[in-house]
Structure 1
Amino acid sequence: MKQPLIVGIDVSKLTLDIYFKPFEIFFQITNETEGFYKFLSQLSDFMADTKDVLVVMEHTGRYSHRLETFLQEQGIGYCKLSSLQIKRSLGITRGKSDRVDAQRIAEYGWLRRDILQAQDPLQPQLQQLQSLLSLRAKLVRDRAGYVCRLKETKATSSSCCLAFEIKSQQKVIDYLKKSIDEVEEQIKALIKAEPALDKTSKLLQSVKGIGWLIAASMICYTANFKKFANARKFNCYAGMAPFKHDSGTSIRGRARVSHLANKEAKRLFTLAAYSAINHNEELRQYYQRRLAEGKRKMSCINIIRAKLVARIFSIVKRQTPYVQQLAA
């Protein structure tokens, strides 16, 4: 078998620090098209076939988007990993620099080259959906902050400038509300314009408790249900899958969920669970029965969240809308 080349890249806003493993070559390029072609030139000196190359980098948000697009165009495989995953694999370390980080990423990829796989390129529509959902979340947080501040201003302020402060903050709140509405319209239009996404969205919304926002978020998180094999995998990703906590004969802790999770997805499904309990007679009876048995409230909510996720994955697999079961 031909020896592969693992390329560790430490991504920053302006530069890319690159380390070739096993050739132990390091160089730095700019995070722009000119730098990408310099990287390609260096790569051709060591590997004639890009199929034997795997680029490994950390999740850095938007900083790696242009590089990912370039790699896709050149047919070079890449995978993005959690920085915490890499950091915890290193053991005891000393010092830190961009070059060292690139080398450590490359070494991580080299040790796991047999199990790491190039990820599927994200469709442009999904990338745009991801960006719009991120923008909406930021606007919602900003609006909530101003609403809270305005409430405190009205309750505690006694200055002569009170009217001006209220008017100024209310103006910002109104502007943010308008911006949120516009972003939401863009999200809905984007999903409706793509038949595959539109069909998935309608399927998900057939489940009581699942609205258009959760449907759009699930499409984004799962890459239109191509990223996770089953509901259990997604529950683990979203911090809704309980794990045992025991050791030997002395430690017998209750099962608990992990805090290493997508907290936004967990928050959305918490809201969906409360909505389902209020509007779905079957789930309401199940929730009340578990509470009567002495189960903790959040454990019961977590069960409802898991049930909603299981239903979502089932209807997507069947490609048929959810049929509501009659409560006994």
Structure 2
Amino acid sequence: MSKFKHFVGIDVSKEYFDAVVILDGTKEKSIHSQFANDYKGIKSLCKWLKEEGSTYENTLVCLEHTGMYGKLIINYLTSFKFDIWVEMSLKIIRSIGLQRGKNDKIDAERIAYYAMKNQEEAQIYEPPRKVIEQLKKLISLREHLVTTRAMLLRNSKELKGFEPELSKIYAKFCKSTVKGLEADLKNIEKELDNIIKSDENLSNVYEKSTSVTGVGKVTTLYLICYTNEFKMYETPRQLACYCGVVPFEYTSGKSIKGRSRVHYMANKKLKKQLHMCAISSIRAKGDFKDYYDRKVAEGKNKMLVINNVRNKLIHRICACIRNNKNYELRLAS
């Protein structure tokens, strides 16, 4: 039996948020209010909930994943021990079915109803440690700088083939910018290394992950940040599904027999990083190269085999972390 008696749905926007409380698990007994999306507004929310008999002990708070707009609410309510469920908006929309009309109040009510209906499946939010938040910010900044540098270098290279004179002018004015970006990237790499070394648990997870052939620093940090140090998923298959590397069957009766394929709803960044790891592990001498060559020789599609390697990499990483051991390559006797 669920411990929750009241259910709060919060629809977040930049300047304010709407909150709807379903009291005593009865949809007809719902109340609504709107608050400013700042500390003062969140304090008013807590006061309002308390007046209605809704406390951290008997209330489930649910809101959509809205990035930075919902962060203040999540951090504040978590500090007061509220159980918070941060859910994908698409999951909420699809679970409710066909709906007509939309505004902030209705959206908050639908979120509250979703929480009440699916309370047994609620995934209570566990806030990441401060060091993980630091890693996230640095990795995000690194990604922006890498993209900017690549764009500048690519444009210069393209111009060289068509307008050499203009290419020289372009390269001249971009030279100092590119150098500055490369210097900043080096500093970020050093800071990332310092953060990893300064935290024992982080250093341990990092060591176990990078011991797997083909898995590098950036991929490991992405996995650590997106999975909250591998706490968000109970099994390697769940993580593999999140990364979009698990194929699912598409058949129905006798008429529909589609090929198995991965789902489009996946973390594209992790999928891209794992793809690069798979290519690296296939190029290196070892069991993955042997596996790839054998399957391709059997007539298997190359991308299918690469996806299988991505899946295997996740299982190996999770096994190393679960057993607290570095990966050991077993050579054929």
Give yes or no for contact 2:4–2:59 (8 Å, CA) kept in 1.
Answer: no
Query: Which moves more between the two structures, 284-293 or 66-75?
Result: 66-75
2:289 matches 1:288: no
Query: Which moves more between the two structures, 267-276 or 134-143?
Result: 134-143
Say which SS state the counterpart of residue 119 (structure 1) adopts: coil
**CA–CA separation in structure 1 for the residues paired with 2:54 and 2:251:** 51
The residue aligned with 1:174 is 179
The residue aligned with 1:165 is 170
1:300 maps to a residue whose letter is V
The residue aligned with 2:26 is none
The residue aligned with 1:249 is 254
Measured after TM superposition, the shift of residue 81 of structure 1 is 0.8
Measured after TM superposition, the shift of residue 27 of structure 1 is 1.4
Give yes or no for contact 1:7–1:20 (8 Å, CA) kept in 2.
Answer: yes
- Residue deviations 1:73-130 (CA, integer Å, cap 9, x gap): 1111111111111122232223322222222211211211232142222211122222
The residue aligned with 1:95 is 101
**CA–CA separation in structure 1 for the residues paired with 2:269 and 2:303:** 17
Consecutive unaligned residues in structure 2, runs of 5 or more: 24-28
**CA–CA separation in structure 2 for the residues paired with 1:214 and 1:224:** 13
1:12 maps to a residue whose letter is S
- Residue deviations 1:43-63 (CA, integer Å, cap 9, x gap): 101125311111111111122
Q: 1:49 to 1:61 in 2, by over 3 A?
A: closer
Give yes or no for contact 1:203–1:319 (8 Å, CA) kept in 2.
Answer: yes
2:135 matches 1:129: yes
Measured after TM superposition, the shift of residue 36 of structure 1 is 1.0
**CA–CA separation in structure 2 for the residues paired with 1:124 and 1:313:** 23
Q: Which of 120, 137, 145 pairs up with 2:151? A: 145
Give yes or no for contact 2:11–2:108 (8 Å, CA) kept in 1.
Answer: yes
**CA–CA separation in structure 2 for the residues paired with 1:101 and 1:90:** 11
**CA–CA separation in structure 2 for the residues paired with 1:48 and 1:250:** 52
1:194 maps to a residue whose letter is D
Aligned residue-pair number: 327
Consecutive unaligned residues in structure 1, runs of 5 or more: none
Q: 1:48 to 1:309 in 2, by over 3 A?
A: closer
Return the TM-score normalized by structure 1. Answer: 0.94
2:35 matches 1:34: no
Query: Which moves more between the two structures, 146-155 or 279-288?
Result: 146-155
Compute the RMSD of aligned alpha carbons.
Answer: 1.8
The residue aligned with 1:19 is 20
Query: Which moves more between the two structures, 112-121 or 197-206?
Result: 112-121
2:243 matches 1:238: yes
Measured after TM superposition, the shift of residue 231 of structure 1 is 1.1
